[in-house]
Amino acid sequence: MPNYKKVTRDLIATYLNTTPKVESENWGIVGVGITDYGQDYNGQVTTTKWIIHKNSISELDGYQIQGDVSQTCYHGDAVYDFINDLRRGAKIGDEVKTQILDVDMYDATGEGAEAVYKATKYECIVVIKSYAKGETPAIEYTIYYNGDPILGTVKFADGKLNFTETV
């Protein structure tokens, strides 16, 4: 019988590069003040029906991946501070471009300090949706994943995340 391991939410990590204009990436974990996050893949499908067939033919052309976030505001969290800076400046165009990294913390080679995890990196843009200033201030935004995924691995060393592209 196979040995299944249940994947819990804390083993699915998402990081955002909070210094996209700097040469070295600084990855902040997407999660402080966030109770739910998922990716909508939004498959791009082309469907045709030839006149000689009764049924249509569908082909998957690609995906338009996005993730919607509602984040309670915690000043000092790298991701919140980065997102709030985008909001404060009403930034657009190249100013909202960065990178996002999904790490499967449940899929490791090695253990402890030697552990290497499977990861997927994307270019992305961040679009602010709303900024609620009520009893519990929150900021809502959408992360749009751009282009093809870059497959690789992540290793943590000296408190830093290091991504290596798989060749």
Tell me the pTM: 0.92
Domain 9-165 has CATH 2.40.30: yes
Residue 23's pLDDT is what? 87
| Nearest of 110, 118, 108, 111 to residue 149 by alpha carbon | 118
Q: How confident is the model at residue 123 (pLDDT cuts 50, 70, 90)?
A: very high
Domain parsing of the chain, residue ranges = 9-165
Give per-residue pLDDT as tens, 67-114: 999 999 999 999 999 999 999 999 999 999 999 999 999 999 999 889
| Nearest of 96, 77, 105, 97 to residue 12 by alpha carbon | 105
Contact (Cβ atoms closer than 8 angstroms) between residue 58 and residue 46: yes
